[in-house]
Structure 1
């Protein structure tokens, strides 16, 4: 058995970093494994314009400056939070900035900090969508309806039918990423779509099905949105990610929350996977005998879709049995990492 594998340094194409002490905390885990990351804009004060995106990027770079020298080579790729009032001028300004690489669509009230999200995409955002199509800037979609009459396990498939299919018909060359795809229907849609469609896949949606949330009691640290689905959907996601198909690439959706925000009567959605993301993906790819495709999924496909140069540096992953800690701490913050208490066979 191989004792190590070296791949081109991966990119995380869907990452939450937060701000203040949480930013300092979680950025250290990210830069150990990723050269770049698409940074999500849904802070408590959402990143709705270029000025805010530049300021957030500056805060990330400032935090990065606190990390020791050999871990400071990291580029944050910023995004804008799409609202019903976003203008085409703002999109063009974002493109010209050189630091904003995509626009994120959150349906209103669909997930964490989505209160400013879009209420009516086609009525309010058509001009912006046309501009995105023209300048080839990707639209990143949290693909779930926020209608609480729709079963939580069906919200992705319903969104694809009601929004993404009509969106693609109206804007055939718009670059679309279905973020954290979580269903067979989502995978099948990407397979059937033109070259302008892609999807990110998280470790939690490939490692676990929905049973883990209720195994031995309610387990809030496995609660995320989109929620984990049935075993059928999990298997489809693994098959897509490990296939070598260029339309699927790594996006952890790592979403840190302090234990107090997870373990209460209305816990936040999100799994923290930045602590051990590559080790988790290695487990997934090794379990199905497709380690040879990990580099494509983690390092090539995302960069190619975003028209970014592939990274020059490399990452070596070692076969080294290790137990994921139950909790990691920094100052007054405590986070439970994904797969806590489990034994993994790989580490960086």
Structure 2
């Protein structure tokens, strides 16, 4: 198959940052995705309804012309999060989820939760009101091997949360391990998961191939081939417990190349293209729309997009430099050692193709 049409996809895990960086990277997402769940780990973090409304306004004002794009906001949980503030934001349709960052787990997580018991009163209200809990699932104990942080989080944090709050809606973000996949497949309560393109493509060998490769460094770190394969199998299965979240995380090149380099991969310029290629190579293109356009929308209570996206496979690899300059600083785009053949050919939300092209694409 060399051409596919899907309903316009959504990105259920996205970092846009703020200020000029947000304005620089936003078009890379808005070109393809109709909605995106925007992460709240700014400086300072988005912890109140007022902050979320102001941040959303800045994003909306920066959306490129002819792109019908909707940012969806999340609340950053801290040890002192007010249950009332969170519930109010959810009822007012400002917050669609609350994000749990274990303190110190990833970028701008210093204000995160130091002990899960500190937010039990918040989780209780979330369970009652049906507010989804979006989780960065890693422990931060320095005695735990970095490649085991997700597995240990399941054992020490996630399973106890589920026992304490059996009806709490949970999204286990950016799965990176077979153990994570297996846990979601157990259907232990309403536990769902997002999957990124880089965790479907990379293993820890890609971190060290020919030397340390910091542009393949993300959190949670990529792991073994058995983990990567389990993640691909889950994403392409059609199971509605798995849906797309790019975890696209822009960092300036200078911050990726320094000591204590920033963890994160900026994949917004080619994320849907790589995901389509993965599904095609695994003969699961018929499951692509479920993963990218249906499962996540269903979980969060949204109707699927009425818009469409067409992708085509080229005969030769696409060699475009998708990096983005912000002033004098470069934000390097995801470029794994995997030739990319797929690209967006058109859409019906910015007049890039005619009606007959939509009808012909399958």
Match in the other structure for 2:332: 336
Conserved 8 A contact 1:108-1:117: yes
Structure-2 change in CA distance of 1:270 and 1:343 (3 Å): same
- Could you say what secondary structure the match of 1:239 adopts? helix
Report the Cα offset of residue 3 of structure 1: 3.3
Structure-2 change in CA distance of 1:341 and 1:208 (3 Å): closer
Question: Is 2:76 aligned against 1:81?
Answer: yes
Match in the other structure for 1:42: 41
Distance in 1 (alpha carbons) for counterparts of 2:178 and 2:246:
19
TM-score normalised per structure 1: 0.96
Conserved 8 A contact 1:203-1:252: yes
Distance in 1 (alpha carbons) for counterparts of 2:229 and 2:88:
41
Match in the other structure for 1:173: 167
Match in the other structure for 1:182: 176
Match in the other structure for 1:325: 321
Structure-2 change in CA distance of 1:169 and 1:324 (3 Å): farther
- Could you say what secondary structure the match of 1:144 adopts? coil
TM-score normalised per structure 2: 0.92
Match in the other structure for 1:13: 12
Question: Is 2:272 aligned against 1:278?
Answer: yes
- Could you say what secondary structure the match of 2:309 adopts? strand
Report the Cα offset of residue 332 of structure 1: 2.5
Structure 2 gap segments, 5+ residues each: 345-362
Report the Cα offset of residue 93 of structure 1: 1.4
| Structure 2 counterpart of 1:221, from 201, 215, 223 | 215
Task: Name whichever of 333-342 and 76-85 sits farther off.
Answer: 333-342
Report the Cα offset of residue 194 of structure 1: 3.8
Report the Cα offset of residue 342 of structure 1: 5.0
Question: Is 2:100 aligned against 1:101?
Answer: no
Distance in 2 (alpha carbons) for counterparts of 1:227 and 1:3:
32
Report the Cα offset of residue 54 of structure 1: 0.7
Match in the other structure for 2:62: 63
Structure-2 change in CA distance of 1:342 and 1:232 (3 Å): closer
> What pairs with 1:124-273 in structure 2 (closer than 5 Å)?
124-194=118-188, 196-273=190-267
Query: RMSD over aligned Cα, in angstroms?
Result: 1.2
Conserved 8 A contact 1:324-1:341: no
Report the Cα offset of residue 195 of structure 1: 5.1
- Could you say what secondary structure the match of 1:45 adopts? coil
Conserved 8 A contact 1:10-1:298: yes
Structure-2 change in CA distance of 1:161 and 1:340 (3 Å): closer
Distance in 1 (alpha carbons) for counterparts of 2:337 and 2:183:
35
Distance in 1 (alpha carbons) for counterparts of 2:141 and 2:43:
22
- Could you say what secondary structure the match of 2:99 adopts? strand
Structure 1 gap segments, 5+ residues each: none
Distance in 2 (alpha carbons) for counterparts of 1:175 and 1:333:
39
Report the Cα offset of residue 244 of structure 1: 0.4
- Could you say what secondary structure the match of 1:76 adopts? strand
Distance in 2 (alpha carbons) for counterparts of 1:174 and 1:214:
39
Task: Write out per-residue CA displacement over residues 16-74 of structure 1, whole angstroms, 9 at most, x where no aligned residue.
Answer: 0001111111110001110000100001210011111111101101111xx22x22x00
Match in the other structure for 2:114: 119
